[in-house]
Chains A and B, each alone.
Chain A
Amino acid sequence: MKKLIFISLFLAFSVGISAQAMKLATNQQKKEMIATITRVSASMKTMQCSFEQTKHLSIMNDKLVSKGKMFYKQSSQLRWQYVSPYAYTFIINGNKVMMQSSTKRNVIDVKSSRLFKSITQIMMNSVTGKSLSNSSDFKVRMFTGDGEWMAELTPVKKEMKQMFKVIKLYFNVKRGIVSTVEMVEKSGDNTVIELNNVQINKPVNESYFSVD
């Protein structure tokens, strides 16, 4: 039992150290970091990866882990597909969004909904890191850590404020690409999305973005 407590304390302490290790970037560092991320993002013609999404629910004292695949093609095509434990596909292709669950398929025009427009923009920009240069949507703070950068995005607009307290994008410093997205809600519950096996500029089948 003592051993278990010791291990738990050690783990909690380690996590604490890891969180503390992120330092707020200076203005100069922030400019350089955003410039690097923007440059990488601009050169990213395609991106594909698998992802694991963990939703922590404090009221349930439980979590929901979902897995899927993501495909992105510059400048406005995204396929976000859950394969487990549920099947759900979300495709953005220009101004069209297709949502397909196991029972229903919907195609909508994002221009018809301000909220949807914001959500699709966040998804696209979070994956590529473009949200950092779009300061009208978020207040951005940059942090540096060991082999990792973190962008803390605090929503400015009402629609986003209703859903998120803050969004944190973690970047792999070497590659300049997003490795983890953490969305924190007003209630304190969060969703962590880890992007794995990220492949940049490999051919992506155009049919993956079909919304018809």
Chain B
Amino acid sequence: MKVTSLLISLLMLLSALSVSAQDSSDSLFSFQGNTLKYNMSIQRKEMNITGICMMRRTGNDIIGSVVNEFGIKAFDFDYNIDKKKVKLNNVVGFINKWYIRKILKGDLKYLFSYGKNMEKDKNRDVIIGADKSIEMDNNKFHLKYVFTPLNDLNE
């Protein structure tokens, strides 16, 4: 009986580990201890905002910052993987409106929790490019987010 319970526990543990590993590999962003840097753009009809997005994983959080090319910060973010919750901090004044924050939080949450096992969102589509770029469309608000890995042009 004891052996059976032990086996069951082991199987459950292995299965949990396997799900965890699958979640990690399903993620759009593979951190592997590094800071990821992307050229980022947010497009809406004729409007196009560009900048740089830097992010890294620390414990159960993905933290990051979005700045424009001149280094002026747009906002910081913190996504808690367990709680699936996004916090925005230091949002620059002219985009610091509750409705903009709400849309941003929703879209970032979708991006960071994106995986094979997630429920399909009829308002959002994700496309992964051959160059490892990530494009997400928010069809409800006609927003397109594009993340293109930043490679040093001098290299």
Contact = CB atoms under 8 A, between A and B. Distances in A.
Interface of A: 53, 55, 57, 59-60, 62, 64, 66-67, 80, 82-88, 90, 99, 101-104, 106, 115, 158-159, 161-163, 183, 185-187, 189, 191, 193
Interface string B55-74: 11000000111010111110
Given A84-B153, A85-B150, A186-B90, 12 more contacts: A60-B54, A83-B153, A84-B152, A85-B37, A88-B50, A88-B69, A90-B70, A162-B93, A162-B94, A163-B92, A163-B93, A187-B89
A59 B65 contact: yes
A189 B78 CA distance: 17
Contact of A86 (B56, B76, B90, B150): B150
Nearest to A68: B69
A85 B72 contact: no
A193 B35 CA distance: 22
Nearest to B153: A84
Given A64-B37, A85-B151, A162-B93, A57 B50 contact: no
Interface string B73-84: 100101000000
B35 A55 contact: no
B153 A86 contact: yes
Interface-centre pick from A59, A83, A101, A158 (highest chain B CB count, 10 A): A59
A103 B41 contact: yes
Contact size class for B?
Answer: 20 to 34
A162 B70 CA distance: 16
A70 to B, nearest CB: 12
A60 B37 CA distance: 11
5 contacts: A64-B52, A85-B150, A115-B94, A162-B92, A163-B93
A189 B148 CA distance: 24
Contacts of B139: none
Interface string B21-36: 0000000000000010
B69 A183 contact: no
A76 B102 CA distance: 39
B135 to A, nearest CB: 12
Given A55-B67, A60-B63, A87-B153, A106 B48 contact: yes
B4 interface: no
A135 B41 CA distance: 35
B5 interface: no
Q: Which of B37, B69, B154 has the most chain A CB atoms inside 10 A of its CB?
A: B69
A107 to B, nearest CB: 12
B54 A64 contact: yes
Contacts of B92: 162-163
A87 B37 CA distance: 14
B73 A82 contact: no
Nearest to B78: A59
A60 B71 contact: no
B65 A57 contact: yes
A183 to B, nearest CB: 7
Nearest to B68: A88
Given A60-B56, A86-B150, A104 B67 contact: no
A195 to B, nearest CB: 14
Interface in B131-155: 146, 148, 150-154
